[in-house]
Amino acid sequence: MIDSLDIRTLSVAMSIIGLILCFCMLYVYATRKTYAGFMQWTTASVLISIAMGLVGSRNLLPDFFSIVVANLLIVSGNSFVSYGLERFTGQRPNKWLFISQSAAAIVLIPCFTYYIPSVDARIVTLSAILAILFGYSGYIVFKHVPVLVKNRNSLLVSSLSILSAWNVLRMILTARGAPIPDLMTASIFHGVTLMVFICGYITVIIGLIILNFQKVELDLSAAIDEVRTLRGIVPICTSCKKIKDEKGSWSLVEEYVRAHSHAEFSHGMCPDCMKKFYPDYVDEENDEQIT
């Protein structure tokens, strides 16, 4: 069981899964209708996939890449998820939130890597930042998505809420536990944490794709309601040109079309009818044109 929760193996596995999901996002972006925010989610999937690959190379690559760059990419990727949700729902970007979280990561991660080396401090810092970002993203989905797409996205709300709560738990247990000398040899809890992150990451990406299609379905439904068409054989009187409806009643063409579509009518007179009913007026116009 412990071997199966090896940090390095799980990190590489998450990187590979992230790469696959990244290709799925790119495929949807390239071949399907997407909305504002989807590109940010796709960027997030790329950044997180690269980050987890760097985490899996801990002690193989320099600390700058496997620790500093990896953690900054994780923060950036999840910031892009939140920013994409803001754009998707039409909310004003919370710049100060992103600036504060990015500044904390840029300052504290290198500090706890080089100046005050501490795996525990890095985990607490990253967990606190991710708890805030996941919580904020969950809040956007819970509050604003139902207004936009007229439906909830329970998968996305649940995934983001669980990830936020788990990061709070990880932060508390790490701060109160025994010091961790190396992330690659951390306790089984941190291996379970990576499994939770893998499952959460998969469900979040799927939830974001579903969210995009929820908007597509809403727009399609609205378009169908707006484009109501007349179909089938319409019985019409050969004399007065009234139309027989589904209930057997006869009504004027204007009334029938208005009831079965969003068309409106303006009245005029064609040239043939002008000649038939107002021949003098037509002749006068022709004479003026000849003159």
According to DSSP, the residues that pair with 100 across neighbouring strands are: none
Region 99-106 average pLDDT: 94
Same domain, 241 and 200: no
Residue 269 and residue 138 share a domain:
no
- Sign of the alpha-carbon torsion through 157, 20, 59, 67: negative
Kindly state the average pLDDT of the residues 69-98.
Answer: 94
Task: Choose one of 226, 258, 283: the last residue of a domain.
Answer: 226
Q: Identify the band that residue 279 occupies on the pLDDT scale cut at 50, 70 and 90.
A: confident
162 and 40, same domain (yes or no) = yes
Residue 119, pLDDT score: 94
Same domain, residue pair 170 and 272: no
pLDDT digits (tens, 9 = 90+) for 25-50: 999 999 999 999 999 999 999 999 99
Same-domain check for residues 183 and 267: no
Which residue segment(s) compose the domain that 262 sits in? 229-291
Instruction: Estimate the share of the chain in helix, then strand, then coil, as percent rounded to the nearest 5.
Output: 75, 0, 25
**Do residues 164 and 47 both lie within one domain?**
yes
Q: Which of 226, 260, 275 is the last residue of a domain?
A: 226
pLDDT tens digits for 240-257? 878 887 778 888 877 777
**Rounded Cα distance, 104 and 79, in Å:** 13
Of 95-109, 156-170, 262-276, the range with the lowest mean pLDDT is 262-276
CATH assignment of the domain containing 152 = 1.20.1070
How many structural domains compose the chain? 2
* pLDDT the model gives residue 59: 87
My answer on whether 285 and 160 are in the same domain is no
Asked whether residue 37 falls in the same domain as residue 161, the answer is yes
**Which CB contacts under 8 angstroms, 24+ apart, belong to 107-110?**
109/67, 109/68, 109/71, 109/72, 110/68
Stated pTM of the model: 0.79
